[in-house]
Structure 1
């Protein structure tokens, strides 16, 4: 039996013909891509008999496969004598003088495939193939034409398919083995935990029906396996072909890797790949993607196909270490290598931004691939603020002043464009008497100036032979990416945004600020079969459904805690921790914490709403020389420092006490597992409200204006989520017991009390 392999022309030829080096991290927005305006301008010049955007397809048998190749050619031109010409249009920021007929073989390959399709379908013995390059700034064009016989075209396409076939054969062998292994795969634990089967069933049902699921499941239930296992099973029944496991933190990424490893030990054969951030996985001390500076960038595309075949042919679980090993073996950039390998993997573990961020998402996914893909969004409560950042953008005056100075004698176009942007910022500072300026409209003039800057910077960067010093070129490259993002966000701007400026004598900063990310999350996630949003703290669920873009028919499930009330002792200390009262409450709070630590041996985590408050209580705590060991979180901790912090929480009976001081919402308040006697108690000081500031107040005012409780949306709900996450560190298994202390008088107010989980309601109130 021949197996049908559907492949788009562009994907096919890019796989076979890609070659050369990574070019300094610069990938132009318009360089050598189908620019809509350029296409339309050329297509308007076509004659009455000519056609545009013509769908073509053909079948090419090869070995045990039948390759079904399809795509749309830009133009089908018919001369007066009946001669057919296939026209392929490419827009570019490069100067046309730098493009010859043989500069980009991949473009000829794409056009030849279209020509072959047409020749076979219409029995044409010979036809012309034309490449039309359009310079995006000047709109000048340059054409190359060659004539080929049908037999030549068929031989060419057969050769292309032959070079693509090893990749297809490898994937076919793998998927046959994968599906067989999934069919016989049992749940990889002796039994389901309480509530775990319900969550797994809800995940499978949501995937089967093609809807979103918003799942709140308590800490310790095993959410990772409860979401991954049913998704793997859905893959085995043909509902899916792949999944993305999305998370914001390295530690939760590791949990997903461990889940796949456990299933592999039970017989699963599946490609699971982890994408690690460039700054972490880069082999160089400083990131520099210029081929002259990096041997892994030089000739990258000449070696990457072989590297992918090698890794996917020999590995299933491809974490950072595996990716690095094969990247070194084949001398390819490990970050770009992981991105390219991700398109062939069954499961991809990565950050949220690879799907939702318009700047860095995996762009080469086709509509059909999305329809066969599920998104598993771990710790989904984090996505609200993360997506606000993804859909916001800012620019600073100082960058353009520096570029104006650096490019004055290097590139007139860049100089003039940067000067115009800098002048805009100067005018804004003169016109605005306040430190902040807030507008409900997009800054149209600035966006136009930035678009011009992008074009000028793109031309300079695409030229590849800058007269500027490397540091200056690096500054331009960074500014280019920031400017491109600003323009992208400007095109997304609607009533859910504001524009605000921070203005001082030294700097002017303009920010396009997304207030409500729900619409854009819905748009960026459109086309995927199912989204599974899960967390221990999706409470209140209506808030998270609203902010994460739920549709009316999407499902919600809430799993009760599997642990008994006897495992948790809850104490409420109603001191005011409000900013204005901290000096007064500091003494009794520090004294209580000292008595607690010295009266009950064990390991404790004390959580505070800010570093300043934590340090203030820590200093007071230490003045009495308590007979306890302490460890203090600080900002910008390295991975080694984080590991040492957690390693201090040793398991076993201890006569002495360890107290870890930490901040709510930080790296130690969620996603960490201190099981058993590694953690005896947790103290949460405050209700976690974000610090009052300009952005939070803008969010508050927006939601007030739209008929929702702005203070809750901007402050209370995000703050109480931090409280729930911090408290969730305590009881992680059926054997765990511990003490939870809530310090704040607002926990006695119904508005805050109703946001606490049911298992925290049986509490003792103590007065100092």
Structure 2
């Protein structure tokens, strides 16, 4: 909404009135959400109206006013900027080419609407306020005694127009404008007072810990990259202190006016907690800085089934009448704004907690949130990134290895043919025009279906996107006029799907593929597949100042540079590990393989033997990671027959069973609930009983990253296989695409993603300098050059073994460790 530079707070006229003058309900029952194509339609209609107005109409007139203000001996300026759609008057042209109004002047503000404009009985208050601000600025700057304000409403589809006009005296409009600015002044006063406190506190701030080996260099590198407005990639193993090493220099850069906000971006909830704690550490050092953690709408909604409209939710009714007071109450009383605090204040003021958290972010220096809020075109915070807005933002991207596949999902889009048939049934008796439009789209997909055997790559979609566009417009109109349709929710979700497909089609480039396929349910779909998301991501990154990508697994780093920013010249740092390598042993079983051609009972039993001997040599708690649930189940069945462990069945109920048997086995299940996940981990964290514990898990799953089991809670991981994704037609499309770009397609599609899973799983063992343990890799491919070059630098000593010397190698490690 606003940008601050030095002592100037700059905001648009529209942003000001939408913030101060908004009122009414949250209502999701229409498709009335702005997007590129609706804006384009609106622009077309604007131009048509402007051209029809004659010589006395000046279109697109830029307006700006600066208002000096003071708070607590801080002088600052509110700078309002905007562009009036039109000024109606006779004009006198001056010698310098400027035009001076002569006689009566009217400010014209044009708004396009999908609904029937002829039914409007009065202008929308926010729209009228925007026109009145333009009127005030123009009146003051041209020394007028009064001015007219006209609202012009138009429907782009029907091209019908309705106007509302009102005259204002200078005194009347001045009084109204001063009231508006005074309403905003409490917010701008707050911003400048808080910035003063923040800057003063940062100047006194020092790094809160004794620097570990290489950590000071890392902190300095982050600070300089932000100062130079460059991107930085950090490969740093566990224990280096990546979170504090990125947040601290980012905060220092804010103190030097090199940044306005810090976005700490994560892919998992647990890493958000680490960021919150890091900011708290700095606050205990004296930092005065407000942070907010954004929680997903479904997780923070008070309803059992989210339904954002005044009929279903009391908080949605009149939300915008109460929200500003709710936000101001919170930001003037809290510095740490997490989920619990948002819920507390939202309940107090009877507002939507999710929408409240987004509004709160305006007034916070740090925003901790999921990747989606910055990168996802459907979820991104439009208040920061809409319409190409740019700010002095720092993006700290945690566990950045996850962003490649996440971005591919965000910027890809799918249409399912059967969905068109379903929506057709819903609207058949209500909207024949929409029904026919849906049928035309279905017919288009049917043509592609007839040509598709297993998978079909398409070079050109012909007129099909135009049919989708027409269907989209019809859907928009339908949702506006049928808010209480029995299948309104399903139709709305289909609308969003279609909108996303069209938006992604608009931004498609050579880094996309279009293909059609039948899924496992024999449904037919068309996919816009974003094989390389770097263009989309770099466009968003360009709206900030600097991005720092960090992870324990950014190898090879040039692959991640290519996939995330498309610039291999971006800076990169390999942070040295402070961990004593003698306290860890990496063992590779060279007589075992997880290749599909080698998956048989003999190989499964060999894996079982490695697992059992690991526990026999040194009892304790171990995690075993498998390439799939299917492989896990095969090994589990063989292991139970061979070694008869006591299997622990964890349910959603609480309680931590004792480890009574010599060997205890617990297995990760698909789609585990949060409580089941916590119970699983509690067996490792809360040591009860003397028996060993094996956790059978899946690589790339919920236990392979983002969990923090320290010291005796975990003394080893056994990783079965190289982690390569299952061979699929889509993965093969990736392979072929990168082969065509002159890259190693198989490595890009399979090896690199797989090795990242391996390294993440291996990283569960060593979490602190006090930890010790073993990493056992069971696959002979780990000893081939293609994999060896992907080892982290700290893997400086590897022990290849066979079943004959494995126990001796492990026993030697544990014996020397004790000595």
Aligned position for 1:24 = 28
Aligned position for 1:673 = 708
In structure 2, distance between residues paired with 1:402 and 1:410: 14
Task: Provide, for residues 33-56 of structure 1, a one-character-per-residue CA deviation record: whole Å limited to 9, x for no partner.
Answer: 783222222223243453222211
Aligned position for 1:39 = 46
Aligned position for 1:581 = 598
1:433 CA displacement: 4.8
Asked whether the 8 Å contact 1:127–1:147 carries over to 2, the reply is yes
Asked whether the 8 Å contact 1:211–1:553 carries over to 2, the reply is no
1:421 aligns with 2:441: yes
1:537 CA displacement: 0.8
Task: Provide, for residues 681-722 of structure 1, a one-character-per-residue CA deviation record: whole Å limited to 9, x for no partner.
Answer: 111111110000011100100000111110011001111111
Aligned position for 1:12 = 16
Is there any run of 5+ residues in structure 2 with no aligned partner, and where?
A: 1-5, 92-101, 646-661, 804-819
User: Partner of 1:169: helix, strand, or coil?
Assistant: helix
Residues 74-223 of structure 1 correspond to what in structure 2 (within 5 A)?
74-79=85-90, 82-102=103-123, 104-189=124-209, 191-223=210-242
In structure 1, distance between residues paired with 2:717 and 2:195: 47
Name the CA shift for 1:163/1:440 in 2 (closer, same or farther; >3 Å): same
Aligned position for 2:693 = 658
Asked whether the 8 Å contact 1:610–1:663 carries over to 2, the reply is yes
User: Partner of 1:343: helix, strand, or coil?
Assistant: helix
Asked whether the 8 Å contact 1:60–1:158 carries over to 2, the reply is no
1:522 aligns with 2:541: no
Is there any run of 5+ residues in structure 1 with no aligned partner, and where?
A: none
User: Partner of 1:634: helix, strand, or coil?
Assistant: coil
Task: Provide, for residues 148-190 of structure 1, a one-character-per-residue CA deviation record: whole Å limited to 9, x for no partner.
Answer: 222222211101011112222222332222222222122122x
**Deviation larger for 635-644 or 56-65:** 56-65
**Deviation larger for 684-693 or 432-441:** 432-441
In structure 2, distance between residues paired with 1:122 and 1:478: 50
1:479 CA displacement: 0.5
In structure 1, distance between residues paired with 2:670 and 2:553: 24
Residues 310-349 of structure 1 correspond to what in structure 2 (within 5 A)?
310-349=329-368
1:406 aligns with 2:435: no
User: Partner of 2:562: helix, strand, or coil?
Assistant: helix
1:488 aligns with 2:503: yes
Task: Provide, for residues 26-85 of structure 1, a one-character-per-residue CA deviation record: whole Å limited to 9, x for no partner.
Answer: 452449978322222222324345322221112334554543222111122224874322
Name the CA shift for 1:657/1:228 in 2 (closer, same or farther; >3 Å): same
Q: TM-score, normalised by structure 1?
A: 0.95
Asked whether the 8 Å contact 2:118–2:162 carries over to 1, the reply is no
Task: Provide, for residues 379-429 of structure 1, a one-character-per-residue CA deviation record: whole Å limited to 9, x for no partner.
Answer: 111111110011100011222111111111122233222222222223332
Aligned position for 2:3 = none
Aligned position for 2:749 = 714
**Deviation larger for 538-547 or 396-405:** 396-405
1:303 aligns with 2:318: no
In structure 2, distance between residues paired with 1:201 and 1:722: 30
Residues 244-393 of structure 1 correspond to what in structure 2 (within 5 A)?
244-365=263-384, 370-393=390-413
In structure 1, distance between residues paired with 2:484 and 2:393: 46
**Deviation larger for 749-758 or 446-455:** 446-455
1:591 aligns with 2:606: no
1:456 aligns with 2:469: no
In structure 2, distance between residues paired with 1:185 and 1:57: 38
Asked whether the 8 Å contact 1:33–1:92 carries over to 2, the reply is no
1:755 CA displacement: 0.7
Aligned position for 2:256 = 237
Alignment RMSD (CA, Å): 2.0
1:459 CA displacement: 1.4
1:365 CA displacement: 2.0
Asked whether the 8 Å contact 2:29–2:479 carries over to 1, the reply is no
User: Partner of 1:417: helix, strand, or coil?
Assistant: helix
**Deviation larger for 641-650 or 675-684:** 641-650
Name the CA shift for 1:433/1:699 in 2 (closer, same or farther; >3 Å): closer
Residues 465-484 of structure 1 correspond to what in structure 2 (within 5 A)?
465-466=482-483, 468-469=485-486, 472-484=487-499
In structure 2, distance between residues paired with 1:198 and 1:418: 59
Asked whether the 8 Å contact 1:651–1:676 carries over to 2, the reply is no
In structure 1, distance between residues paired with 2:452 and 2:31: 40
1:224 aligns with 2:237: no
Question: Which residue of 553, 573, 598 corresponds with 1:557?
Answer: 573
Task: Provide, for residues 423-453 of structure 1, a one-character-per-residue CA deviation record: whole Å limited to 9, x for no partner.
Answer: 2223332x32503221133x34332222112
**Deviation larger for 605-614 or 56-65:** 56-65
Task: Provide, for residues 300-345 of structure 1, a one-character-per-residue CA deviation record: whole Å limited to 9, x for no partner.
Answer: 1111101110111111111111111111111111111111111221
User: Partner of 1:760: helix, strand, or coil?
Assistant: coil
Aligned position for 1:67 = 78
